Amino acid sequence: MLYFPRWKIFLIVAICVLGTILTLPNFLSRETLSALPNWYAHNRVNLGLDLRGGSHLLLEVDMGAVIRDRVEGLVDSARTQLRNDNVGYTAINPGDRGITVQLRDPAQADTAVRSLRQLANTIGGGPLGGGQPDLEVTASGGSVTARLSEIALRERATQAIEQSIEIVRRRIDETGVNEPTIARQGADRILVQLPGVEDPDRVKRLLGTTAKMTFRLVDMNADPSAGRAPPGTDILPSAEGGRAQSAYVIRKKVEVDGANLTNATAGSNPQTGEWVVNFEFDSIGARRFADVTRANVGRPFAIVLDNKVISAPVIREPITGGRGQISGSFTAADANDLAVLLRAGALPAPLKVIEERTVGPDLGADSIRAGLMAVGIGFVLVCTYMIAAYGLFGAFACFALLVNTVLTLAALSLLQATLTLPGIAGILLSLGLAVDANILINERVREETKKGRGVFGSVEAGFSRAYSTIVDANLTTAIKMAILFVLGTGAIKGFAVTITFGILISLFTATVLVRLMMVSWLRKTRPAALPV
């Protein structure tokens, strides 16, 4: 127990030195870091929103838009289905949660009900079935109503919020923000925290844009200035107010959906030098794009983003390679933002910013100073008590606490984790948990000494008998922190991470490192009595 082979001593020292080296980038200036290799300079602890400053946004998903999209799709599908089943109708009226079909012949009500039920999607269930339709179809006199069920509304709300969170995460990742916090809050809200963001307005624009892109044909026979769109068309404004043509008459039929895009990058046109966005389709999109351009040579083909026409170029020849280009007097920032939106995908519904807070760097710096002061005061108080209670062995424990803090920062740096104020509180608490192990060991050594055991025997018995208690106490704490990490979000996770690292590392510093220092001192001085 008290014998350390040479290789083990070298390993313990190497771990301490390596931890110090990994911690150093956190305390070096930007000029010094720029001269270091990237793999080393980037191993730093990322500061959270409360320490570094940044933006706090609370977004709300427009669930009404999700339902309206389903109802609009239901209108088109109902027309096709009723026509195929030879059911005559005079009107299809959309409502808040469904549609109402006015029949020409009330005797066809049962046939219309069966027709509309075929438009329902199945919710829940598994491979063997058991799901429920999302439409409730009822007949009343000469009309048939198809409404979304309550289960369907809840299912669509859940899908919309989950899809929105994933797309928000993709868009923010494209901007290069380190360690953002993106979490669901309530039934229809998303919490977004962006540490160190210097241009929150740009992020709000990226998150507030639905980015629903479609490729649709322009109706060349209609005049948008008439103010009334012919059946099957929409009058959509141009995305640029300075264009000669400020609006277009666009067919409602979507020829190619933006969901078939696989990539989008900003670039420049070598002939004109203007910024453009190059895009690529998947196999399905490429085939549809080729078919449409082949059948409509000489006609304008509109690129529509969020019900605004970005560009409406004339098809000069069939485009069969599955690649295209969007131009529109973009600046470099506009082209990059549009490419980010297209790569991340379209939101299922618009997002509305309902709460915004900005944490300034000055407030973050004050938080850092307060947190470091708290850690420093806590460290001094713990060390004062340990030295007063256990003398030299208490000083060994204090040195181990310092190494514990360094190794904890090294682990956080290696993982490039985010440190928040609760994380600093976790480091402070882990100091107290780490010193508990040394208190147990020293008390055991003191008990063995009082029993009349020798110097070496007392130390060996103290470590061996306290070790199981230390492992049990740290293991139960680690389990609790694991539960906090899994169930918690944001600051709670940061607190759990720092505590976990602290107690795991304390098993090394409090038992292995302290034991090495005690044994080295005992072998060198051969004292007659222990200083406890």
171: alpha, beta or left? (left if phi > 0; alpha if psi -120 to 50)? alpha
What does the DSSP assignment read for 278-347? EEEE-HHHHHHHHHHHHH-TTSBEEEEETTEEEE--B--S---SSEEEEEEEE-HHHHHHHHHHHHH---
pLDDT in tens, 332-379: 888 888 888 777 777 777 888 888 877 766 556 777 778 778 888 888
Percentage of residues of the chain with pLDDT beyond 70:
94
Question: What is the band of 422 on the pLDDT scale with cuts at 50, 70, 90?
Answer: confident
Tokens of residue 46, six digits: 């990322």
Place of tokens 């380190």: 178
> Cβ contacts of residue 163 below 8 Å, gap of 6+?
347, 348
SS3 state of residue 59: strand
Burial of 260 (0-12, 13-18, 19+ CB in 10 A): buried
pLDDT surpassing 90 at residue 276: no
What integer pLDDT is reported at residue 424 of this predicted model? 82
> Cβ contacts of residue 13 below 8 Å, gap of 6+?
none
Burial of 192 (0-12, 13-18, 19+ CB in 10 A): buried
> Cβ contacts of residue 23 below 8 Å, gap of 6+?
406, 409, 410, 413
CB-CB contact of 281 with 289 (8 Å): yes
What integer pLDDT is reported at residue 495 of this predicted model? 83
What integer pLDDT is reported at residue 129 of this predicted model? 47
Tokens of residue 57, six digits: 């946004």
Closest CA to 142 of 107, 93, 99: 107
480: alpha, beta or left? (left if phi > 0; alpha if psi -120 to 50)? alpha
CB-CB contact of 219 with 251 (8 Å): yes
Percentage of residues of the chain with pLDDT beyond 90:
5
What integer pLDDT is reported at residue 399 of this predicted model? 92
**Cα–Cα distance measured from residue 278 to residue 327, given in angstroms and rounded to the nearest whole number:** 9
User: Position 522: which residue type?
Assistant: L
**Cα–Cα distance measured from residue 248 to residue 240, given in angstroms and rounded to the nearest whole number:** 12
Strand 213-217, strand 256-257: pairing: antiparallel
Backbone φ and ψ of 116, nearest 5°: -70, -30
Tokens of residue 85, six digits: 């089943």
CB-CB contact of 89 with 103 (8 Å): yes
User: CA torsion 260→336→46→497, rounded to 10°?
Assistant: -10
Q: Buried (b) or exposed (e) across 80-101, using 16+ Cβ within 10 A? A: ebbeeeebebeebeeeebbbeb
DSSP 8-state code for residue 47: E
CB-CB contact of 89 with 104 (8 Å): yes
* Averaged pLDDT score across all residues of the chain: 82
pLDDT in tens, 188-212: 888 888 887 766 777 777 777 777 7
Tell me how many degrees the CA angle 97-102-107 measures, rounded to the nearest 5: 125
Tell me how many degrees the CA angle 435-440-445 measures, rounded to the nearest 5: 125
> Cβ contacts of residue 266 below 8 Å, gap of 6+?
275, 276, 277, 278, 330, 332, 335, 336, 338, 339
User: Position 89: which residue type?
Assistant: Y
CB-CB contact of 431 with 401 (8 Å): yes
Place of tokens 């799709």: 73
Summarize the confidence of residues 484-503 as an average pLDDT. Answer: 80
What integer pLDDT is reported at residue 198 of this predicted model? 65
Question: What is the band of 18 on the pLDDT scale with cuts at 50, 70, 90?
Answer: very high
107-111, 207-211, 243-247, range with greatest mean pLDDT: 107-111
Summarize the confidence of residues 449-473 as an average pLDDT. Answer: 84
pLDDT in tens, 212-232: 788 899 988 888 877 778 888
Please state, in angstroms and as integers, the Cα–Cα distance from residue 162 to each residue in 156, 359, 396, following that order: 10, 27, 51
- What's 98-136 look like in SS3? EEEEEECCHHHHHHHHHHHHCCCCEECCECCECCEECEE
Place of tokens 């492992």: 471
Summarize the confidence of residues 297-306 as an average pLDDT. Answer: 86
What integer pLDDT is reported at residue 245 of this predicted model? 67
| More confident of the two residues 529 and 87 | 87
For the chain, what is the total number of helices (H) and then of strands (E)?
A: 16, 21
End-to-end CA distance of the chain: 20
Closest CA to 488 of 476, 499, 474, 503: 499
Please state, in angstroms and as integers, the Cα–Cα distance from residue 176 to each residue in 180, 195, 240, following that order: 10, 11, 28
